[in-house]
């Protein structure tokens, strides 16, 4: 005789999970399942006198999802995967630190678009529809550590790499073109020395960096966490795309560099990367939690 779970398909199981979540956390329908956090980053960066509840805390850092919202794209703005090298999903979050107060839950709702030219989601193919939690309460160790969770389904296998960070602070990173036009490609990363793994903040894959009218570079991710006694290492690999003036001839058209900052409770650090005739100004804003 089949069990109840065996009779239910993945879509029905996922639907039941969401209904249970809304009953517990949805404030009687006042808060939608897709609602993002109401708390912004940099809550205590510029406060002269910190409140008594502001302190380092246990947090989560997500490094990749390989075939925080971490990855959220609709069918009209989907990521194109054309080769095994495209198997890493381009994470776009979280918007602020993931605090490990309660057990965090990862949701995997990945679909492949259906027939070419079809505008109906009914033609889409489910790659993975599942969820899993990380029981942070059971971890009693004093050291930060990273782990990989593998979720297998009929059509795909998804690897999720994340870390449990002990006594950490928040770092919010912004980048701005302070000189030049930004006509270079770039891969910008952040690394917490207590874990030693990179978080990809921006990877243009040979294309020009996306720059707004005010000169700000639109990073894919900008919030990371760092242990209070560790360093944040920012790294860049960049190459100029266009332009062959005397000014650029005197400067390097390629750049590979790293520099680090020790974690702080508040205020900011800054640094510069120079590639060709352009200068990239990096600003790191520190904040305690929650």
Report the C-alpha gap between 187 and 91 in whole angstroms.
14
pLDDT at 91: 79
Beta bridge partners of 200: 189
Alpha helices in 78-142, H assignment, sequence order: none
Q: Given pLDDT bands bounded at 50, 70 and 90, which one contains residue 175?
A: very high
Beta bridge partners of 226: 169
Domains annotated on the chain, with CATH: 41-112+121-166 (no CATH), 169-287 (2.60.40)
pLDDT at 4 over 60: no
pLDDT at 77: 60
pLDDT at 69 over 50: no
Instruction: Tell me what the mean pLDDT of segment 60-86 comes to.
Output: 65
pLDDT at 86: 58
C-alpha dihedral, 200 to 204 to 208 to 210, nearest 10°: -60
Low-confidence winner among 109-113, 115-119, 178-182, 234-238 (lowest mean pLDDT): 115-119
179 or 4, greater pLDDT: 179
pLDDT at 64: 85
3-state SS string over 37-58?
CCCCCCCCCCCCCCCCCCECEE
- CA-based nearest residue to 228, from 188, 271, 287: 287
Q: Given pLDDT bands bounded at 50, 70 and 90, which one contains residue 182?
A: confident
pLDDT at 87: 58
Q: Given pLDDT bands bounded at 50, 70 and 90, which one contains residue 95?
A: confident
Residues whose CB falls within 8 Å of the CB of residue 217, separated by 6 or more in sequence, listed in order: 175, 176, 177, 182, 202, 209, 210, 211, 280
**Is pTM beyond 0.85 here?**
no
pLDDT at 157: 84
Distance of CA 98 to the CA centre of its chain: 11
- CA-based nearest residue to 257, from 233, 281, 278: 233
Residue with tokens 């790191």: 284
Report the C-alpha gap between 97 and 104 in whole angstroms.
12
Report the C-alpha gap between 241 and 183 in whole angstroms.
6
Q: Given pLDDT bands bounded at 50, 70 and 90, which one contains residue 238?
A: very high
Instruction: Tell me what the mean pLDDT of segment 257-280 comes to.
Output: 93
| CB half-sphere exposure, 83, CA atoms < 13 A | 1
Q: pLDDT above 90 covers what percent of the chain? A: 47
Q: Given pLDDT bands bounded at 50, 70 and 90, which one contains residue 93?
A: confident
The Cβ of residue 13 has, within 10 Å, a number of other Cβ atoms equal to 15
Q: What are phi and psi of 56, to 5 degrees?
A: -65, 155
Q: Sheet of 184-192: strands edge to edge? A: 198-203, 184-192, 231-240, 254-262
Query: Residues 26-68: pLDDT tens digits?
Result: 666 666 666 677 778 999 999 888 899 999 999 999 998 777 3
Query: Residues 122-152: pLDDT tens digits?
Result: 777 888 888 899 999 989 899 999 999 998 8
Give, for 171, the enclosing helix (H) or strand (E).
strand 157-179
- CA-based nearest residue to 290, from 169, 152, 134, 159: 169
Report the C-alpha gap between 17 and 19 in whole angstroms.
6
């Amino acid at each position: 005789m089949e069990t109840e779970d065996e009779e239910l398909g993945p879509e029905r199981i996922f639907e039941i999970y969401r209904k249970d979540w809304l009953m517990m956390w949805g404030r009687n329908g006042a808060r939608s399942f897709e609602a993002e956090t109401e708390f912004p980053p940099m809550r205590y960066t510029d406060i002269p006198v910190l409140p008594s509840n502001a302190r380092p805390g246990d947090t989560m850092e997500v490094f990749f999802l390989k075939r925080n919202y971490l990855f959220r794209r609709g069918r009209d703005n989907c990521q194109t995967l054309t080769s095994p090298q495209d198997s890493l999903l381009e994470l776009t979050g979280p918007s602020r630190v993931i605090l490990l107060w309660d057990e965090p839950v990862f949701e995997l709702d990945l679909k492949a678009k259906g027939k070419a030219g079809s505008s109906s989601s009914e033609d889409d193919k489910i790659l993975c529809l599942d969820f899993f939690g990380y029981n942070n309460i059971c971890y009693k160790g004093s050291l930060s550590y990273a782990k990989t969770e593998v979720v297998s389904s009929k059509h795909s296998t998804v690897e999720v790499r994340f870390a449990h960070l002990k006594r950490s602070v928040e770092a919010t990173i912004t980048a701005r073109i302070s000189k030049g036009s930004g006509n270079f490609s770039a891969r910008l990363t952040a690394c917490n020395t207590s874990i030693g793994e990179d978080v990809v903040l921006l990877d243009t894959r040979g294309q020009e960096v996306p720059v707004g009218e005010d000169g700000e570079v639109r990073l894919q991710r900008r919030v990371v966490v760092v242990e209070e006694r560790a360093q944040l290492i920012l790294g860049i690999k960049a190459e100029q795309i266009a332009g062959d003036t005397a000014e650029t001839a005197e400067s390097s058209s390629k750049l590979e560099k790293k520099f680090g900052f020790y974690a702080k409770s508040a205020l900011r650090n800054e640094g510069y990367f120079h590639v060709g005739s352009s200068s990239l100004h990096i600003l790191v804003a520190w904040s305690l939690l929650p």
